[in-house]
Amino acid sequence: MEAFLKYWLRWPSVEHLFQHNAWAWPLCETMHFVGIILLVGIVGMFDLRLLGFARAIPLAPLRRLLPWGVLGFALAAITGLLFVTGIYANVEIPPYTVAMNDGFLQLKLLFMALAGLNLLAFYATGAARDVEHLGAGEDAPPKAKLNAGLSLVFWLLVVYFGRLIPWGSFAPPSALR
């Protein structure tokens, strides 16, 4: 399994793209941040409304924005994968080594997984159905509020630990060589 991951995580074509095109890494960073803005901004507004902020806004208009949040997730996920698979071109550390030793990356991925499980719970428990027709001034049920609060916390932790990735890891530097 380790050999498979070492091979799979290192994409020579992505390394080549980053090594031979000075614009590629900054463009990916820009698209990554655009994706995060769409995802966290739109999901955050939706979650805040469920938590009771801006009750004058009916939920339906916010629901129509959710596909843009999905687009944001796709942008962030694709560019994030490019960062990991092309990291060797930037810092000459194999992607497998980074993935296994960078605790901040691992925490970011953990909180992304928890946010996904929370979203699954939002739909599986019926909370999504319960808020489907939430109108202006109406309060969301407690289980929807719990999902919304957890969603905000998880996505903010994804952003927080994502920002720490380029600044190093809590793994000892010798583990990264």
Is there a domain that residue 90 lies in?
A: yes
Instruction: State the CB neighbour count (10 A cutoff) for residue 36.
Output: 21
Q: What is the pLDDT of residue 66?
A: 94
Rounded Cα distance, 110 and 140, in Å: 28
Is there a domain that residue 48 lies in?
A: yes
Count of structural domains, the chain: 1
Is there a domain that residue 160 lies in?
A: yes
Is there a domain that residue 13 lies in?
A: no
Structure confidence by residue, pLDDT tens digits, 75-105: 999 999 999 888 888 888 888 888 888 899 9
Is there a domain that residue 61 lies in?
A: yes
Q: Please, which pLDDT band fits residue 171 given cuts at 50, 70 and 90?
A: low
- Structural domain span for residue 45: 24-176
Is there a domain that residue 14 lies in?
A: no
Rounded Cα distance, 175 and 97, in Å: 8
Q: What angle do CA 46, 50, 55 make, to 5 degrees?
A: 95
Is there a domain that residue 11 lies in?
A: no
Is there a domain that residue 46 lies in?
A: yes
